[in-house]
Amino acid sequence: MPVWESFVDSLGIIALLVAAALASLFVRRRWLSRGGGTFECSVRFNVPSRQSKVASARGWTLGLARYVDDSLEWFRVFSFRPGPKHVFGRDIRVVGRRDPEGAEAFALYAGAHVVEVVLGSGSRV
């Protein structure tokens, strides 16, 4: 078998693996959404200080959130992990809401709002 045929076969296998990975991300998202109570929800844990006047897109991670019993499960959009990345209890308290500013508008989903919450542990998200 000529070398170029081996190269073409290798490219075909790589393309098949990439297509399978993309298909698995799509199937995972559909599987997460099937139970209802799911919504698009980006999260940023490293909240900038209040002294910073410029809203930054840095640190936002796109995801899906799902209500389950007495908790809120959060899943990364681009992940193969079947379980949630974070689980928040009912002790979440909303302390602020605003529209995305500056670069945040491009980093978040269209029509999103920025909601600042305090967890039961006292950390801000």
Q: Is the per-residue pLDDT at 16 higher than 90?
A: yes
- Number of helices (H) and strands (E) in the chain: give both, helices first: 2, 6
d(CA 93, CA 98): 15
Chain-wide mean pLDDT for the chain?
83
Domain boundaries along the sequence of the chain = 1-34, 36-125
Residue 28 confidence (pLDDT):
87
Average pLDDT estimate for 99-118:
85
Percent of the chain with pLDDT over 90: 13
CB 116 within 8 A of CB 96: yes
Nearest partner of 117 among 72, 58, 83, 56, judged by Cα: 72
Residue 44 neighbours by CB under 8 Å, 6+ apart: 59, 60, 61, 125
CA angle 120, 84, 97 (to 5 degrees): 50
Q: Beta strand 114-118 with 93-98: parallel, antiparallel or unpaired? A: antiparallel
Q: Is the per-residue pLDDT at 24 higher than 60?
A: yes
- pLDDT-derived band at 95, boundaries 50, 70, 90: confident
Average pLDDT estimate for 23-44:
85
pLDDT tens digits, 64-81 = 998 888 888 899 988 888
For the whole prediction, is pTM greater than 0.75? Answer: no
